[in-house]
């Protein structure tokens, strides 16, 4: 299975909104509403930010939101803050009853 | 609060078998899927596989021939074995609980280096 495609980097100024894309196929992202997003700070374990495309776990800021159109899912961070600077990974369930991660995106707060 | 902790050797010789255990505390391993994910140094996340508490397993096709995931409900633990390891298997290995098709609780990760 091939990794989902994400941009290598996205940047924005404090207070701005940014969007990270995650492109797959009809066998994963496009076929199921089982897309999740993870935030990973350096030398830390990933943290779940979004599940089922657009659901936030308890405790995750409402500045994080998710969406999907066709084979592409997106994570939007609004009101960008310095603490949001991290790597972000998407993940999707697949038709092979497996999961696949995205290539990862480094978000930089300018 | 649910906690997961990986344990096992930090150094494994090439061609040998990597073995790790994830101990779950603060909750029961019964119900939910439980998974292993790895991250080579400086690289992205790779899903290895998951196991249901009843024993059903699902593996990454690229690793399936070398990977075994098992569960011991009496010890509230699940384990990972990767056989015939090479330097390419050097990575931080994470265990995680899967709920709503996402990893909602993760261990801190453990670095496994493959070297002679």
In this predicted model, what pLDDT tens digit does every residue of B25-77 receive, in sequence order? 999 999 899 999 999 999 999 999 999 989 999 999 999 999 999 999 999 99
- Which is nearest to B42 in space by CA: B111, B105, B116? B111
Per-residue pLDDT tens for A63-95? 999 999 999 999 999 999 999 999 999 999 999
Backbone angles phi and psi of B87, in degrees to 5? -60, -30
Determine contact: B94 vs chain A, CB below 8 A: yes
Per the document, the length of chain A is 110
Q: Which residues of A touch B44 (CB under 8 A)?
A: 3, 89, 101-104
The verdict on a CB contact (< 8 Å) between B101 and A47 is no
Interface test with chain A among B3, B43, B58, B101, by most A beta carbons within 10 Å: B101
The answer, yes or no, to whether residue A58 has pLDDT greater than 90, is yes
As a whole number of Å, the CA-based R_g of chain A is 13
Determine contact: B1 vs chain A, CB below 8 A: no
The answer, yes or no, to whether residue A1 has pLDDT greater than 90, is no
The answer, yes or no, to whether residue A32 has pLDDT greater than 90, is yes
**Predicted pLDDT at B25:** 97
The string over A70-107, giving b where at least 16 C-beta atoms fall within 10 Å of a residue's C-beta and e elsewhere, is: ebbbbbebeebeeebbbbbbbbbbbeeebbbbbbbbbb
Average pLDDT, chain B: 97
Q: Which residues of B touch A38 (CB under 8 A)?
A: 45, 103
Structure tokens belonging to residue A57: 């776990």
Q: What three-state secondary structure class fits B103?
A: strand
* Confidence category of residue B84, pLDDT binned at 50, 70, 90: very high
The string over B2-26, giving b where at least 16 C-beta atoms fall within 10 Å of a residue's C-beta and e elsewhere, is: eebebebeeebeeeeebbbbbbbee
**Predicted pLDDT at A75:** 98
The answer, yes or no, to whether residue B10 has pLDDT greater than 90, is yes
Structure tokens belonging to residue B84: 């015939």
């Amino acid at each position: 299975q091939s990794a989902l495609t994400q941009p290598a980097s996205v940047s924005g100024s404090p207070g701005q909104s940014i969007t990270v894309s995650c492109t797959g196929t009809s066998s994963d992202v496009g076929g199921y509403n089982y897309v999740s997003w993870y935030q990973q700070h350096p030398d830390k374990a990933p943290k779940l930010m979004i599940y089922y495309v657009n659901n936030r776990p308890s405790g995750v800021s409402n500045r994080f939101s998710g969406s999907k159109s066709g084979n592409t899912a997106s994570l939007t961070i609004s009101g960008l803050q310095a603490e949001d600077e991290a790597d972000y990974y998407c993940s999707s369930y697949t038709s092979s009853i497996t999961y696949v991660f995205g290539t990862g995106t480094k978000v930089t707060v300018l | 609060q649910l906690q997961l902790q990986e344990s096992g050797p930090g150094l494994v010789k090439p061609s040998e078998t990597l073995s790790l255990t994830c101990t779950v505390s603060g909750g029961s391993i019964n119900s939910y899927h439980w998974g292993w994910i790895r991250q080579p140094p400086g690289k992205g996340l790779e899903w290895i596989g998951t196991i249901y508490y009843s024993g059903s397993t699902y593996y990454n096709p690229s690793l399936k021939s070398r990977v075994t995931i098992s569960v011991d409900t009496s010890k509230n633990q699940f384990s990972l074995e990767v056989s015939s390891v090479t330097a390419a298997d050097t990575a931080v290995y994470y265990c995680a609980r899967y709920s709503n098709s996402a990893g909602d609780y993760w261990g801190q990760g453990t670095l496994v280096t493959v070297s002679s």
